[in-house]
Amino acid sequence: MLYRHLLKGQHLIIKKKQTRYYISSLNETVEQFAQRIRNYWHVENKVHYVRDVTQGEDASRIRVQPLPNLFALARNLALNLYREQGETNMAQVQPGGRIWP
């Protein structure tokens, strides 16, 4: 049984029980497998969510190469510069919450 936590800033909005079923051929304990799943979602929430929501990457209309790759590099550079300065809230440090087309 897992708990889903929806946070707004530091405030807990929703804490709800959820059941997930997985089929795997991995030879791991339940705890090891659960940690593997948590690690996956940690990356998804930390990196992809920031790129999709804060930087608007999914909404970008840039489609012709090499521009998508160049803008992805620029977005990653911006995130790394912010993190290097100790920033944890990317939406707060970017003007208007979104700085990329």
- Which residues form the domain of 71? 29-97
Cα–Cα dist 33/30, whole Å: 5
Residue 11, in any domain of the structure: no
pLDDT at 101: 45
Residue 73, in any domain of the structure: yes
**pLDDT tens across 10-23, in order?**
777 777 887 888 88
**pLDDT tens across 29-74, in order?**
988 998 998 888 887 777 777 888 778 888 888 889 999 999 989 8
Cα–Cα dist 10/94, whole Å: 19
Residue 16, in any domain of the structure: no
pLDDT at 100: 46
Backbone angles phi, psi at 16, to 5 degrees: -135, 140
Residue 39, in any domain of the structure: yes
Residue 68, in any domain of the structure: yes
Residue 62, in any domain of the structure: yes
User: What is the domain count for the chain?
Assistant: 1
From the CB of residue 79, how many other CB atoms can be counted at a distance below 10 Å? 20
pLDDT at 76: 87
60, two tokens: 């970008």
Answer whether 0.95 is exceeded by the pTM: no
